[in-house]
Amino acid sequence: MAKKIVYPGSFDPITNGHLDIVERAANIFDEVIVSVFHNPNKEPVFSMGERVEMLERAAKDLDNVKVDSFSGLTTKYVKSIGGEAILRGLRAVSDFEGEFQMASMNKHLDDSIETIFLMTDTKYAFLSSSVIKEAAYFEGDISELVPDFVYHKLKAKLSTKK
């Protein structure tokens, strides 16, 4: 039985924590769709196209990982591409309440779609795109926390915003 799982997120930018989840999911599921979600409540540093391109580059060696983008309800998107489940990463206990609430709402909206949680590697437990952007903005060393090409793109993007 083929299993297609969707890993939605803003990925602004993708971090090594995100990649940890993607790589591990690729070892478990037949197909992983990493999909950039347009969140109207956030103002991203990178455009949707830039985020998709960075994800494609980061996942280029993972044959069963595809990259896409969407807006609207995640459950409708998952159903529209023939997905069976939503993948979410958990970093710490503090993530659980919000993720539980979202998973419960998704189950209410479409009870045929499951939510699967993967814990990130503990070395990335503190990592979020927001923390990365803030540290990079103030010229902190984030080079070990994101792919090399993301590091350079983020530095270039933030230098034009100062």
CATH number at residue 35: 3.40.50.620
Residue 143 marked ligand-binding: no
**Average pLDDT, integer, range 113-126:** 92
Measured distance CA(32)–CA(46) in Å, rounded: 22
Q: Say what the pTM is.
A: 0.93
Catalytic residue numbers, as ranges: 18, 42, 91, 129
Q: Are 132 and 155 in contact (CB under 8 A)?
A: no
Measured distance CA(87)–CA(90) in Å, rounded: 10
pLDDT in tens, 49-79: 999 999 999 999 999 999 999 999 999 999 9
Total number of domains in the chain: 1
Residue 95's pLDDT band, with cuts at 50, 70 and 90, is confident
**Residue range of the domain that includes 104:** 4-160
Q: What are phi and psi of 133, to 5 degrees?
A: -65, -40
Mean pLDDT of the chain: 93
Instruction: Reply yes or no on whether the pLDDT at 88 is more than 50.
Output: yes
In the prediction, which pLDDT does 22 show? 97
Q: Which amino acid is at 117?
A: F
Residue 104 marked ligand-binding: no
Residue 70 marked ligand-binding: no
